[in-house]
Amino acid sequence: MTESTFVVGQRVRIADRTPPVHHRVPSYAKGHVGIVERVCGLHGVPEKFIRGDGKPRQRIYRVRIPQTELWQDYDGTDGDKLEIEIFEHWLEKAE
């Protein structure tokens, strides 16, 4: 297994782009910063699965984002979080 690019506890930003191919990143999460909650296994890249190929395999990370950052009018508590699994090529280091 290859070494992880990101580590648990690291701040990451989900890239804000819309490629003209199938991708599995919800638009409401794009551009937001979260914390790596867990490093998951290697999986085939979904943008390539649509064309019948899943290689090279890529790591998935579970990222935790505060709900108050995702939704401008969020009425819940500051402790409410979304955990979402994101492919590595969609993540960037956040400052």
β-bridge mates for residue 43, sequence order: 58
Residues 51-70 have pLDDT tens digits of 665 567 788 999 999 999 99
| % the chain with pLDDT above 70 | 83
| Domain made up of 11-93: CATH architecture | Roll (2.30)
Pick left, alpha or beta for residue 5 (phi over 0 → left; psi -120 to 50 → alpha; otherwise beta): alpha
| Top mean-pLDDT range of 21-25, 28-32, 42-46, 74-78 | 28-32
Predicted TM-score (pTM) of this structure: 0.82
**pLDDT of the residue at 78:** 84
**Structure tokens given for 37:** 């909650």
